[in-house]
Structure 1
Amino acid sequence: MIDVVLKKGKEKAVLHKHPWVFSGAIENVKGKPVNGEIIRLLGNKKDFLAYGFYNDQSRVAVRLLEWNEEVMVDEAWFRTKVREAVAGRAHILEDGTTDTCRLIFSESDYLPGLIVDKYADHLAVQVLTSGMQNAMPVIIDELNTLLKPQSIFDKSDATSRSHEGLETTNVLLSGNHPPELVMVKENGISYGINIAEGQKSGFYCDQRYNRQALANYAKGKTMLDCFSYTGGFTLNALKNGAASVTSVDSSALALETLEENIRLNKFDGAEHAAIKSDVNVQLRKFKEDGAKFDIIVLDPPKYAPSRSALDRASRAYKDLNRLGMQLLNSGGLLATFSCSGAMDMETFKQVLAWAALDAGKQVQFIYQFHQPEDHPVRASFPEGEYLKGLLCRVW
C-alpha cells in the first residue's frame, strides 16, 4: 500500500477524524497511486494516521475512510458500512406512510462520494469520487442482497465529478429500467418520480419533515410555492386544506409531474395554478400586479457551492427574500431555505435581516427547519449540515 505523508503540523484535522485532506497539506507521496486507490496516510514522523482514497486531480487529495490501522478497508469493510447505513433508516419506512428516503449520505455515512436514495422498490445512486467508483461493484452487490430492488440507476451527472477526473453518467446499473414515473409515498402523499430525467437523484427527500411542519399553517391560507419542483410543499399544503396554492418553477417537466401528482392524490378540486417562469422574474411580476399571499415558500437551488461564492450568494438570497417579503400579507409567513453548505444559519439570519430592512418589513423567526435524520451530520464533518431554513412572520 502506498504511503502519503503529511506536512508537519497538518495532522490535527485528521486526528479529529475529519475525512478530508487537502492537496496543500501533503509533503510527499511514496510511489504513484492510481486515482481512487486506497493509500496509507502518515504523519510527518511517519506514524500511521488513517486509510483513505487518493486522487491527485482533486483539491481534496485524500478522503479518509478508516483510522484503525488493524482494520483493513476491503470488500467486507464496504459491505459493513452499507449495511449499517441501511439499517439506520429502517424505522423511517416502518409505518407505510413513507417509502422513500436517503439510504447513504456520503461522508456522513463513512462512504465519501456515495449517495443512495430509495424510491419505493427502486434505488438511485450518485457516485462523486473516483475511490467510490472503484468500489461500486461491491456496493451494488450488497444493495441487491439487502434490498432486492427492481432497479439501481446511476444518476452521477453532477459536474463535480470532473474534479475527480470522472465523466458524468446516467445509466442503469442493475435490474430493469425504471418506469417513466416511479410511484412513491411520503407523509401519506403519493408522488410520481422521474428517476432517469429528474433533478439530482429524482426527488428532494431532505424536505420531508419541513413540508409537513409548514402544512400545519396552511389551512384556509393562500400559498405561493417558489422553486416548487414536483410539488412537495404544494401537495402537503393542499392536503391540509390550503385555500389556494400557486406553484412556480422554471422546469416544464417538473410542473407536468406536479400536475400529475395533484391528480394522483385526488386534489383536482383544489384551487391550484402552476406557472413556468424564472422565480425572480415572476416575483417582480406579482409585485407589479399587486398580488399578495398568506404563505410564501422560497426553496432555491444552491447559490453558494463554496465559501468563495458566499458574498455573491448572500446578495442573491437577500434579493430573493426581499421580493418575497414584499408579497406577503401583514403577519404572513415566509418559509425560506438555503441548501448551500457554505451558508451557516447565523449568516442566513443576517441575510434575512438585511432583506427585511430593504423591504421595509419587521420579521420574527418563529421556527428553524433542518435536514432530516436520513441526512445525518457527522460530528467530525460539520460540512454535512447543508440544509437550513427559517419560518418567518413578516409584518
Structure 2
Amino acid sequence: MVELILNTKFIRQYQNKFPLIRKEAILNPEVLSEEGEIIHLVDANHQFVAKGYYGEQNKGLGWVLTYNESEKIDTSFFKNRILTAINKRQPFFNDKYTNTFRIFNGEGDGIGGLTIEYFDGYYVINWYSEGIYSYKQQVISALEEVIDYKAIYEKKRFDTKGKYIDDDDFVQGTRGEFPLIVKENGMNFAVYLNDGAMTGIFLDQRDVRRVIRDKYARGKHVLNTFSYTGAFSVAAALGRASKTTSVDLAKRSKSKTIEQFSINGIDFEQQDIYVMDVFDYFKYAKRKEKKFDMVVLDPPSFARSKKRTFSTAKDYPGLIKDTLDITEKNGVIVASTNTASFDMNQFKKLVDKGFKESGEKYQILEEYSLPQDFKTNKQYKQSNYLKVLIVKKL
C-alpha cells in the first residue's frame, strides 16, 4: 500500500466521492512504482480519505475503489461490485428483443478502468490500464461466481504507444463461432469478439438507432458518415428509408456493412456504400448536387488520415457546414460525439456555430446521452461522455 498525499484544495472533492485520482491532486506522485498497487489518499496529517489503485490512463493516475479504509480489494470486493451491477441490468437480461448490452460500466459501477459487455451469453472484459489488468484473476473469479457464460473474451486497451494489444482475446469457456449474430431492439448485428479492438457495434448508440428506425427514417434518403459497419444504415433501412448511403474511409467497412445489411434481409445492392474520406465525399456530393433528407454525423473524437486530422472541439462546426450544403430543407441531422472533455451545452455551441456560419436556422428536436446500461458517476461528469442532438434544418 502506498500513501499519496492530497493537495489541500482537492481534499473536499475526494471527500465528496470523486472517483478519478488526478495527477494534479497528488503532492508526491514519485512514490508510485508498480501499476496495480493499492493507494491510500491521505491529507497532510496522513488521515485516510480514500482507497484506490495505481493504473495510468489518459485521464489520471488511477481510480478510487472505496472510501472505507478497512475494505479489502480482493475477489469478494469485485464479486460484490459486479453482482450489484448485474442486478441493476435485470430488465435487459429479460428483454426478448435485445441480447447485447453493457453489464459493468467503469466508474459508474464503482471500478474505473474496467468495463464488461454481454453478447448473448458471451462476455467481453475491457481493461483500460495495466493497473486494473493486474486484477485479472480476481475479476474473472468474481465473474465465474455470479454468471453462467458460454465464453469470456478480453480487450487490452492500455498499450503505452496508444495501439491496441492485438493478441488472442479468448480467456476461457467454449470459443465462439464468428460472426455471432446478436439482437438489439429486434435488429440483427454481426459481432466479432476475437478480431481486435472493435466488436462491430458501439452499444452506447442503442437508443439513437432505435429512434432513427422508429421515428425518422421512413421515406428518407439517409447519409451515414463515418459509418464503420453501417449500424445506423441498417436501422434506417429497417425503418423504411427510401435509400441509405454509407461512407467510411476504412477498407473493410464495405464488407462489414454488406454483412450487416444481409443478416437483416436487406438487399445491399439497393444501398450505396462508399470507401472514401467523408470530407472528400462531401465535395463529391456537392459537385453532383446530391441532397439528403437525413445525415448521421458520428465522427471519432480524433482522427488522422493522410490528408487531414479531425478533432471534435476544433472541427465540428466545419463538419456541420459541410453537411448543411447537402441537406434538404427540413432535413434532419443526427449530430453525435463521444468526446468526454466537454458537456452537452458546449456541444450545442459547436453545432450552433456551424449553423450560424452557414446562415441557416435550425430546431433541436431531441437530445440523447448514454443508455441506461451505461451507468455514470454523478461526481465525475466526463463519465457521461455521449452527446447526440437530433436537429432539423429549417
Q: Which residue identity lines up with residue 27 of structure 1 in the other structure? A: L
**What is the CA-CA distance between 1:81 and the residue it aligns to?**
0.6
**What is the CA-CA distance between 1:192 and the residue it aligns to?**
0.9
Count of aligned positions: 387
Segment of structure 1 superposing worse, 89-98 or 381-390:
89-98
Distance 1:135 1:101, change over 3 A: same
**What is the CA-CA distance between 1:354 and the residue it aligns to?**
1.5
SS in 2 for 1:319: helix
Aligned equivalents of 1:145 and 1:277: distance in 2?
47
Aligned equivalents of 1:180 and 1:75: distance in 2?
31
Are 1:346 and 2:350 an aligned pair? no
Are 1:143 and 2:156 an aligned pair? no
The answer for the alignment partner of 1:315 in structure 2 is: 314
The answer for the alignment partner of 2:11 in structure 1 is: 11
The answer for the alignment partner of 2:112 in structure 1 is: 112
The answer for the alignment partner of 1:193 in structure 2 is: 191
The answer for the alignment partner of 2:88 in structure 1 is: 88
Deviations 1:167-205 (A, max 9, x none): 665521112333331110001011111222265344201
Are 1:179 and 2:150 an aligned pair? no
**Do the aligned partners of 2:36 and 2:55 also contact (CA within 8 Å) in 1?**
yes
**What is the CA-CA distance between 1:151 and the residue it aligns to?**
2.1
Q: Which residue identity lines up with residue 34 of structure 1 in the other structure? A: E
**Do the aligned partners of 1:155 and 1:170 also contact (CA within 8 Å) in 2?**
no
Task: Choose from 199, 203, 209 the match for 2:207.
Answer: 209
**What is the CA-CA distance between 1:161 and the residue it aligns to?**
4.1
Distance 1:7 1:124, change over 3 A: same
SS in 1 for 2:189: strand
List gaps (5 residues or longer) in structure 2.
304-309
Aligned equivalents of 1:222 and 1:168: distance in 2?
38
The percentage of aligned residue pairs carrying the same residue is 25
**What is the CA-CA distance between 1:30 and the residue it aligns to?**
10
**What is the CA-CA distance between 1:110 and the residue it aligns to?**
0.9
The answer for the alignment partner of 2:274 in structure 1 is: 275
SS in 2 for 1:209: helix
Distance 1:44 1:283, change over 3 A: same
Matching of residues 1-395 of structure 1 within 5 Å: 1-28=1-28, 34-55=34-55, 60-156=60-156, 158=157, 160-162=158-160, 169-197=167-195, 199-215=197-213, 216-268=215-267, 271-303=270-302, 313-395=312-394
SS in 1 for 2:28: strand
Aligned equivalents of 1:103 and 1:170: distance in 2?
22
**Do the aligned partners of 2:153 and 2:169 also contact (CA within 8 Å) in 1?**
yes
Structure 1 length-normalised TM: 0.90
Deviations 1:204-239 (A, max 9, x none): 010101111122111111111112222221111111
Distance 1:172 1:237, change over 3 A: same
**What is the CA-CA distance between 1:164 and the residue it aligns to?**
11
Structure 2 length-normalised TM: 0.91
Deviations 1:326-352 (A, max 9, x none): 111111000110110113211111111
List gaps (5 residues or longer) in structure 1.
305-310
Calculate the aligned-residue CA RMSD, in Å. 2.5
Segment of structure 1 superposing worse, 89-98 or 50-59:
50-59
Aligned equivalents of 1:164 and 1:4: distance in 2?
27
Deviations 1:133-152 (A, max 9, x none): 12111212232343332222
Segment of structure 1 superposing worse, 206-215 or 49-58:
49-58
Q: Which residue identity lines up with residue 150 of structure 2 in the other structure? A: Q
**What is the CA-CA distance between 1:383 and the residue it aligns to?**
1.1
Aligned equivalents of 2:183 and 2:3: distance in 1?
48
Aligned equivalents of 2:58 and 2:204: distance in 1?
27
**What is the CA-CA distance between 1:100 and the residue it aligns to?**
0.4
**What is the CA-CA distance between 1:252 and the residue it aligns to?**
3.0
**Do the aligned partners of 1:238 and 1:270 also contact (CA within 8 Å) in 2?**
no
Distance 1:178 1:372, change over 3 A: same
SS in 1 for 2:218: coil
Aligned equivalents of 1:31 and 1:314: distance in 2?
35
Distance 1:35 1:123, change over 3 A: same
Aligned equivalents of 1:56 and 1:297: distance in 2?
34
SS in 2 for 1:9: helix
Segment of structure 1 superposing worse, 197-206 or 118-127:
197-206
Aligned equivalents of 2:206 and 2:141: distance in 1?
28
Aligned equivalents of 2:364 and 2:142: distance in 1?
44
SS in 1 for 2:334: strand
Aligned equivalents of 1:43 and 1:336: distance in 2?
44
Aligned equivalents of 2:176 and 2:83: distance in 1?
24
Deviations 1:84-124 (A, max 9, x none): 11222221231210100011111111111111111112222
**Do the aligned partners of 1:2 and 1:33 also contact (CA within 8 Å) in 2?**
no
Segment of structure 1 superposing worse, 139-148 or 373-382:
139-148
Aligned equivalents of 2:319 and 2:143: distance in 1?
41
